[in-house]
């Protein structure tokens, strides 16, 4: 099967950036399980992991997903109907229709992984950007989610009461107007709806 590459900013299809930290793995799995084979968008996942950890999330999702799961490479074009999960050592950004992938294991870089991805998606995709904040600690992702909101994209946040660690979703809701708040299952359904709208 020939996979469709995403082109310039004006041609970009929906890009869904997902940020999660502590307690986020099962939530990510729920969302990926709900994506249909014809999901017409690109999903890029940023999760906080130790630099020495292997990309087990990619292996887990590749066995479960109904669409292809890939690890982004520097200067590689985004593919529509695909899920991307960066290596634990890499900072992943979206620039136009391509990835910028740089190895950086510094503590500051690890903390900024979600924000850096979200900001880049906001800049590259504008109104065709979707930011999703799931379970995690502290305020990671708030700056990036605000960038997506200001670019005219959609902001989806897990209900803090249903998150294993509620700090990330609570801080997101306190600082950014959310377009949707709900359970992970409800967020997955909303993502699919938005993809169909676009």
Catalytic positions, written as ranges:
21, 48, 140
| Signed CA dihedral, 47, 87, 110, 92: sign only | negative
SS3 106: coil
Would you tell me the crossing angle of helices 25-34 and 184-197 to the nearest 10 degrees? Answer: 40
Distance of CA 121 to the CA centre of its chain: 9
Half-sphere exposure at residue 46, Cβ-oriented, CA atoms within 13 angstroms: 29
The token pair at 129 is: 């950007």
| Residue 12 structure tokens | 């970009």
Nearest to 95 by CA among 81, 115, 78: 78
Rounded Cα distance, 119 and 127, in Å: 13
The two three-digit tokens of residue 89, written as one number: 């050592």
């Amino acid at each position: 099967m020939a996979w469709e590459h995403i082109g310039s900013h004006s041609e970009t299809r929906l890009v869904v950036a997902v940020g999660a930290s502590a307690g986020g793995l099962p939530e990510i799995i729920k969302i990926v399980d709900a994506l249909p084979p014809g999901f017409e968008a690109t999903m890029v996942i940023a999760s906080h992991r130790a630099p020495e950890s292997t990309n087990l999330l990619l292996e887990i999702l590749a066995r479960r997903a109904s669409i292809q799961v890939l690890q982004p490479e520097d200067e590689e074009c985004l593919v529509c109907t695909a899920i991307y999960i960066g290596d634990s050592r890499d900072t992943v950004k979206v620039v136009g229709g391509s990835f910028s992938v740089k190895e950086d294991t510094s503590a500051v870089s690890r903390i900024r992984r979600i924000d850096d991805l979200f900001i880049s998606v906001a800049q590259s995709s504008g109104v065709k950007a979707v930011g999703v904040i799931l379970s995690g600690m502290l305020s990671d992702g708030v700056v990036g989610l605000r960038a997506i909101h200001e670019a005219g994209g959609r902001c989806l946040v897990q209900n803090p009461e249903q998150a294993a660690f509620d700090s990330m979703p609570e801080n997101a809701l306190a600082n950014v107007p959310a377009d949707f708040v709900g359970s992970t299952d409800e967020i997955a359904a909303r993502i699919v709806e938005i993809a169909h709208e676009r």
